[in-house]
Amino acid sequence: MKNNKSFSQRIKVTKTGKMLRRPTGQNHFNSKDSSEKRMRKRGLKDVSFGTRIKRRFLPGTSKKK
């Protein structure tokens, strides 16, 4: 089965297997946000999925025993 390429490009999988994503609303219209809100949008956020979704959408994230 093919992996969902667009979905897997939005997720970064670390060496330990943790999955990270960009916060929403980060692309444009940020100048009108308060400085506190802009600071919260920085960096990557942790995200968790079930094993079924990992296996379906992300290549190489689930280990079969």
For the stretch 7-65, pLDDT in tens is: 778 888 888 878 898 888 888 888 899 999 999 888 898 888 788 877 777 766 555 55
Q: Which two tokens stand for residue 1?
A: 């089965």
- What is the structure's pLDDT at 52? 81
Q: Of 62, 36, 45, 50, nearest to 11 (Cα)? A: 45
CA gap 28, 64 in Å, rounded: 41
CA gap 25, 3 in Å, rounded: 26
pLDDT top residue among 2 and 24: 24
- What is the structure's pLDDT at 23? 86
- What is the structure's pLDDT at 36? 93
Going from N- to C-terminal start, the domains of the chain cover 5-57
